[in-house]
Amino acid sequence: MKWIMSFLLVIAAAVGIYMMTIGLPKPPKDEAADLPEGVELLKIVASNDFVFDKEEYVVKAGQKYKMVLSNKSGIHGVGVEALGIDLQGDTMEQEVTFDKPGRYEMHCSVMCGLGHDKMKATIVVE
Ligand SMILES: [Cu+2]
């Protein structure tokens, strides 16, 4: 009788481990890890509250960035005309080097709804 108990325990443990393995969410992709050398990540997250995740994105002049737009909810874009930036649709990332220090207004470039006109942030190049 004792061996049956041990056997069941082993099965239960095996099932448990299996469930844990398949149940674990995939580790989040570390986007900063696969950047080319010398390139930094500038990630912008947009959501359906018509906001970007920051009011100001501070970057260094002369530094090359990989600018990535991530839409947490809704469909938005990022436009900075003065810097030739337009992220939307199929183009959700772009390499940018900010040359001139200053403040640049960034706005949503996709008509995303009622709050669209107010969906703005600033890129601060230092
Ligand atoms: Cu919009």
Residue 10 lies in a domain: no
Q: Using the mean position of ligand 1's atoms as its centre, give its distance from the Cα of residue 86 in Å.
A: 12
Averaged pLDDT for residues 28-43: 84
> Would the pLDDT of 25 be above 90?
no
* pLDDT number for residue 34: 80
Are the C-beta atoms of residues 96 and 57 closer than 8 Å to each other? Answer: no
Label residue 62 left, alpha or beta by phi (over 0 means left) and psi (-120 to 50 means alpha): left
Residue 3 lies in a domain: no
Q: Using the mean position of ligand 1's atoms as its centre, give its distance from the Cα of residue 89 in Å.
A: 12
* Confidence (pTM): 0.74
Number of domains the chain is built from: 1
Residue 104 lies in a domain: yes
* pLDDT number for residue 2: 75
**CATH code, domain carrying 54:** 2.60.40.420
Q: Using the mean position of ligand 1's atoms as its centre, give its distance from the Cα of residue 11 in Å.
A: 54
Q: Using the mean position of ligand 1's atoms as its centre, give its distance from the Cα of residue 44 in Å.
A: 14
Residue 108, domain extent? 39-125
Q: Using the mean position of ligand 1's atoms as its centre, give its distance from the Cα of residue 49 in Å.
A: 10
Q: Using the mean position of ligand 1's atoms as its centre, give its distance from the Cα of residue 45 in Å.
A: 13
pLDDT in tens, 3-23: 777 877 877 887 777 777 776
Q: Using the mean position of ligand 1's atoms as its centre, give its distance from the Cα of residue 65 in Å.
A: 23
Where does the pLDDT of residue 24 fall: very low under 50, low under 70, confident under 90, or very high at 90 and above?
low
* pLDDT number for residue 27: 65
Q: Which residues contact 35 (CB under 8 A, 6 or more apart)?
A: 41, 66
Averaged pLDDT for residues 37-41: 94
Residue 114 lies in a domain: yes
Residue 29 lies in a domain: no
Choice between 91 and 30, residue whose per-residue pLDDT is larger: 91
Residue 105 lies in a domain: yes
Residue 1 lies in a domain: no
Q: Using the mean position of ligand 1's atoms as its centre, give its distance from the Cα of residue 33 in Å.
A: 30
Residue 99 lies in a domain: yes
* pLDDT number for residue 12: 80
**DSSP E strand stretches across the chain:** 39-47, 51-52, 56-59, 64-71, 78-80, 85-87, 93-97, 102-107, 120-125
pLDDT in tens, 47-74: 999 999 999 999 999 999 999 999 999 9
> Quick check: helix, strand or coil at residue 56?
strand
Q: Using the mean position of ligand 1's atoms as its centre, give its distance from the Cα of residue 84 in Å.
A: 18
